[in-house]
Structure 1
């Protein structure tokens, strides 16, 4: 049986020309990625990014435009059984940003027994590139964002 996982991510660029990323510790690995998450059955992709952003960042956003949908085969980083399809949207805030900001990558504590911890930080435009994110599809997207915006 073929399994597909659909992930939906938001790209936010602030007025200082910084890009928001999420630093995450997941099951023993460290990943820098874009905020977002998995599409749930019964919801559309726009609903998904708005929900995920609210859950992860406690901020309301509006989708500005679709940037990219995966156009190549990518196996999941967490199992070898599912194909990942990622959809990226440019988002803008419609409520204040109140989430604590990490000063440095992975600047958080991991309590014993916890399998997932996350924090967010802004990356200056001049420092932002495909090398600043971990996952293969995010690297493609980072290059596109640098070229487009």
Structure 2
């Protein structure tokens, strides 16, 4: 199998109550808490990608405020051993009032029989937000940066 780079783009969004938005996801039998975002598509810029991902996942239009972090270490994919993950994180803000459904507890959704992926958004209070609140290794680095910077 050919080894490839997998570019991922994520948005960090905080609300007026100083809560951080995360996405709880059931993927291929595993449970992950991560930042909203996803894969860069061929022909797309990273800013376009994060805006598209928020529209697709949350039905929310956002604007990018600033770049937070780009992966600066080797990270193999959590889902295969043939792709190196490069993740880019931006601080984003909503352009309208968020109207997406919000989970009231981690993984507070039902998983239909045979489902490949299920996801839901959840706010984490600033006091409870840390590297331990997210699952993926690069997200943990970013969570620590966010806590120091904001």
Return the TM-score normalized by structure 2.
Answer: 0.98
Matching of residue 93 in structure 1 with residue 94 in structure 2: yes
CA separation in 1, counterparts of 2:52 and 2:36? 11
Residues 37-78 of structure 1: CA deviation (Å, up to 9, x unaligned) = 000000000000000000000000000000000000000000
For 1:134-145, list aligned pairs within 5 A: 134-145=135-146
For 1:30-109, list aligned pairs within 5 A: 30-109=31-110
Residue 147 (structure 1) shift: 0.2
CA separation in 1, counterparts of 2:132 and 2:121? 17
State the partner residue of 1:124: 125
CA separation in 1, counterparts of 2:96 and 2:41? 24
Structure 2 unmatched runs, 5+? none
Residue 2 (structure 1) shift: 3.0
Over 2 Å off, 4+ runs = none
CA separation in 2, counterparts of 1:100 and 1:13? 16
Partner SS, residue 127 of structure 2: helix
State the partner residue of 1:11: 12
Instruction: Give aligned pairs, total.
Output: 149
Q: Cα RMSD (Å) of the superposition? A: 0.5
Structure 1 unmatched runs, 5+? none
Partner SS, residue 126 of structure 1: coil
State the partner residue of 2:134: 133
Residues 2-35 of structure 1: CA deviation (Å, up to 9, x unaligned) = 3000000000011000000000000000000000
